[in-house]
Chain A
Amino acid sequence: MIVHYGYVDGSGEYFIVVDTDRCNGCEKCVQQCPQHALELVTEFIDLEDKTVVAVTEEHRKKILYTCAECNPAENMTPCIVACEKGAIRCIWKPL
Chain B
Amino acid sequence: MTEPQKEYWRWEEYHRVLSEGNWKNKDLITAGVDVGSVGSKATIMIDGEVYSWAVRRTGSNSPDSAQKVFDWALENTGLKPGDIKYTVGTGYGRVNVPMANKAITEIACHAKGANYIWGPSVRTILDVGGQDIKAIHCDETGRVTSFLMNDKCAAGTGRGMEVFADLLKIPIEDIGKASLNVEEEPPPVSCTCVAFAKTEAIGLLRKGWTKEKVLAAYTRAMAVRMANLVNRVGLEKEFVITGGQSKNVGIVSRVETILGVKTLPSPNWREGGLDPMLAGAIGAASLAKSLYLKSKGT
Contact = CB atoms under 8 A, between A and B. Distances in A.
A3 interface: yes
For the residues of A in contact with B, the DSSP-based class is: strand
Task: Categorize the interface residue count of chain A.
Answer: 10 to 19
Interface stretch (B48-56, B145-153, B200-208): B145-153
Contact of A3 (B143, B147, B191, B225): B147
Contacts, number: 53
Interface of B: 104-105, 107-108, 143-153, 191, 225, 228-229, 232-233, 287, 290-291, 294
Interface of A: 1-4, 7-10, 13, 15, 43-47, 60-61, 91
B105 A43 contact: yes
Contacts of A3: 107, 146-148
B233 A44 contact: no
A45 B107 CA distance: 9
A2 B145 contact: yes
Contact of A7 (B108, B144, B152): B152
Nearest to B226: A8
Given A45-B108, A47-B290, A1 B228 contact: no
A13 B232 contact: yes
A47 B148 CA distance: 20
A1 B139 CA distance: 11
9 contacts: A3-B107, A8-B225, A8-B229, A8-B232, A10-B191, A15-B148, A45-B108, A47-B290, A60-B152
